[in-house]
Amino acid sequence: MSSTSSRYSTIALVGKFDRSDVSEPISQIAAHLLQSGRTVLVAEHTGLDLNLPNASNVEVVSFETIGKRADLAIVVGGDGTLLVSARKLAPYGVPLVGVNRGRLGFLTDLSAATACEAITRLLQGEFSSERRQMLDVRVERAGETVFRGLALNDVVLQKGDAGRMIEFGVHIDNEFVYDQRSDGLIVATPTGSTAYALSANGPIIHPGVGGIALVPLCSHTLTNRPITLPETARIAIRLFAPHVARVHCDGQERFDVQADDQVMIERSRHCLNLLHPPEYSYFAMLREKLRWSEAPRER
């Protein structure tokens, strides 16, 4: 095994949760990796129903074990699966590469049909590496931290089950910015700028730009517009009484926020190391996923 190849000697496979259609591609990738002499780890929620080849040479393990032992994680699923994997594995510095079995696939570059061929190229060192910034969030209540989270896409403060607007104040780097009455506020990374924030008319931010976007959700004041902040910005959002709300990390983890709680958001010291094939282009991805330059349909 060459020095380039041996860089990824232990490789983890993570599959889309509760979906049977990842079984075949993961089995194929596992067989391919075993044939090349790699140690294969499979995330425990993925490995339960898989018919893996050479099962005695495959270990079904937790995310924590993957973080401690894996040199690389291959994620088979959609962006949601990769978001979960990023939050679990970024603190360990494990790089990720995505095989798309979802819908849009902004973060999952490889197709299942050609995954083994692409992985061979990766093991030969042909892929490029890109660092994606993440956000730390904590909720403070009466001077105590009651919730901590990590997000790759976004942190969203949103009205809860009451179904009515909430009121909150925003400070950035200890400076008052505004009080707002709206359905909530999206705090998005460049990666998340093409997710929920995009549907709320937020800006698309190139991943090479170190910025954080604040995007209001259905603000009561039409002049409350999206704004892009420096990556060093520290954002504090205080929920006013008598409102209650909910904070979401990547739309997957959530915590109920009470009146007078403060939601504190800043750039995390953790980054996602995302691997791309040589032909990857951010702008080509946008053209495909957002259907830019698509010819109008005839009626």
Q: What is the Cα–Cα distance from 201 to 186, expressed in whole angstroms? A: 11
Bridge partners (DSSP) of residue 156 are 186, 248
Structure tokens at 35: 């044939």
Token pair 């209540």 is at which residue? Answer: 141
Catalytic residues: 79
Bridge partners (DSSP) of residue 202 are none
Contacts of 104 (CB under 8 A, 6+ apart): 78, 79, 289
Q: What is the DSSP letter of 56?
A: G
What are the φ and ψ backbone dihedral angles of 135, each rounded to 5 degrees? -120, 135
DSSP secondary structure string for all residues of 244-258: -EEEEETTTEEEEEP
Q: Are 190 and 253 in contact (CB under 8 A)?
A: no
The identity of residue 279, as a single letter, is E
Q: What is the Cα–Cα distance from 25 to 115, expressed in whole angstroms? A: 8
- The b-or-e profile of 204-213 (16+ CB within 10 A means b, else e) is ebebeeebbb
- The b-or-e profile of 157-184 (16+ CB within 10 A means b, else e) is bbbbeeeebbbbebbbeeeebbebbbbb
